[in-house]
Amino acid sequence: MKIVFFSDAYRPRVNGVVSSMDEFAKKLQKRGHEVLIVCPSYPELDELGLEEPIPTLRIPSLPAVVSSEDRVAQLWYEPEVFRQLDAFSPDVVHVQTEFSIGTMGRRYCKKRGYPVISTCHTHWEMYISNYLHFLPPRFNQYIARTLMRKVYNNDTLVIVPSRQIEAVLRRYGVEREMVWIPNGIDNSFFYPQPDGANKLRYDLAEKYPALAEGPILLFVGRLGHEKNVRLLLEAFMRVHKEIPNANLVFVGNGPVLGELKSRTHEAGLDPFVHFTGYVHRNELPLYYAMATIFTFPSVTETQGLVTIEAMLCGTPVVGVNRMGTAEVMAGEKGGLLAENSASSVAEKILKLLKDPELLKLKKQEALAQGNLWTIENSCTILENLYRRFTL
């Protein structure tokens, strides 16, 4: 099959939508399908020199007014985009987002007679205030719910990566057919690598000496308000009082990085809280494997891919008992679930760190639980779904 993804975000942007598309696209290619991703241009793309393993059709774009990390496609290029897509002659069109390029994908489907297959990756009610912070929260809630209801009620079928987001859409009044297909992770890429993890720890200790000893708590993701990272830092302060050689490593960038660094400095924890910035995806398995516990306090995840990645590397998780994280961990399989407070998160972290047998058990559980969410299984379901709608 020839398959087109439409998305308002792609490399070099780092987020769950991009990771999901990459995993599915690579696996679909390996199974003999052709995949083309329609996405925005990014001015820094050439500077970064990133390889494009998946063919892309880049649309000239402008900076998004509400987010310095995102782009808005220049829609007057739409006729040329449609001409190139007609030449590609797709069998299936899969729309991954809701905004400028997502809207373009939906128009292409309607004009060419394709069914609109979409995925709801983002629980916008939980995110929108980070972008429209100047509007009252109740108004933002209304915007998010109305957007999601109107967008998805006009699609043919909506893929949901978790049962939780399916329930959210139904509550908003979305009546279209929904199919649960979790975003799968490649377990031939994410797996325990103790030797590589030990070497990484040794290398990082040259820059961050405290990493030479003591437990390591790890966060991977965007350093934004929606990821609840301030709560994690507060929880770590409590942990550090009881375990003075504990370390916290933040992997990623984002708008609250400066705030986190300032708060760390004020607390006198500079030697023990480390900010690596962006880490190439090829290195992530070693970071996960190096960690004693993966700490992920986000309450907004439709699924939580990083949680699965960590578990596949044999690293137990302490997360907040909400949304996708709770669904992936299915009753504390592979870790512990906390309430949405610094004290509760700290309590769960300390429970694991102070009980070596429990920590060992949760490591074993994590590996088993992570392997329930592989890309092989999810891609087979997606392929079968595409065949239902092939023109």
- Residue 214's pLDDT is what? 95
Is 189 contained in some domain?
Answer: no
The DSSP 8-state label assigned to residue 361 in this structure reads H
Q: Note the pLDDT tens digit of each residue in 30-68.
A: 999 999 999 999 987 766 666 778 999 999 999 888 777
Tokens for 29? 């290619």
> How far is the C-alpha of 217 from the C-alpha of 262, rounded, in Å?
19
- Residue 213's pLDDT is what? 93
Domain count, the chain: 2
> How far is the C-alpha of 336 from the C-alpha of 16, rounded, in Å?
22
Q: Phi and psi for 359 in degrees, rounded to 5?
A: -60, -45
> How far is the C-alpha of 325 from the C-alpha of 86, rounded, in Å?
40
Q: Phi and psi for 110 in degrees, rounded to 5?
A: -65, -40
Tokens for 192? 């325990």
179 and 205 part of one domain: no
- Residue 169's pLDDT is what? 97
CA angle 228/343/337 to nearest 5° reads 70
Tokens for 358? 């429990």
40 and 177 part of one domain: yes
Tokens for 83? 């001409």
CATH of the domain at 32: 3.40.50.2000
Strands (E) across 238-310 are located at 247-251, 273-277, 293-296
Tokens for 72? 């808005």
Q: Phi and psi for 59 in degrees, rounded to 5?
A: -100, 130
229 and 364 part of one domain: yes
Domain that holds residue 140: 2-184+375-389
Q: Phi and psi for 6 in degrees, rounded to 5?
A: -110, 130
9 in helix, strand or coil?
A: coil
**CA diameter of the chain:** 63
- Residue 139's pLDDT is what? 86
- Residue 49's pLDDT is what? 63
The alpha carbons of the chain give a radius of gyration, in whole angstroms, of 21
Q: Note the pLDDT tens digit of each residue in 123-155.
A: 888 767 767 777 788 888 899 999 999 999 999
177 and 243 part of one domain: no
- Residue 355's pLDDT is what? 98
173 and 199 part of one domain: no
250 and 351 part of one domain: yes
> How far is the C-alpha of 338 from the C-alpha of 113, rounded, in Å?
47
Is 224 contained in some domain?
Answer: yes
Is 285 contained in some domain?
Answer: yes
Residue whose C-alpha is closest to residue 121's, from 168, 153, 156: 168
Pairing of strands 335-338, 2-6: unpaired
85 and 143 part of one domain: yes
Tokens for 107? 């128009």
Is 18 contained in some domain?
Answer: yes
Cα–Cα separations (whole angstroms), residue 190 to 6, 16, 96, 285: 27, 16, 24, 5
Kindly give the parts of the chain with pLDDT less than 50.
Answer: none
180 and 238 part of one domain: no
Q: Phi and psi for 95 in degrees, rounded to 5?
A: -95, 125
118 and 241 part of one domain: no
pTM across the whole model: 0.86
> How far is the C-alpha of 169 from the C-alpha of 147, rounded, in Å?
11
- Residue 47's pLDDT is what? 62
Is 23 contained in some domain?
Answer: yes
Pairing of strands 216-220, 293-296: parallel
15 and 102 part of one domain: yes
238 and 95 part of one domain: no
235 and 116 part of one domain: no
Q: Is the peptide bond before 12 cis (omega within 30 degrees of 0)?
A: yes
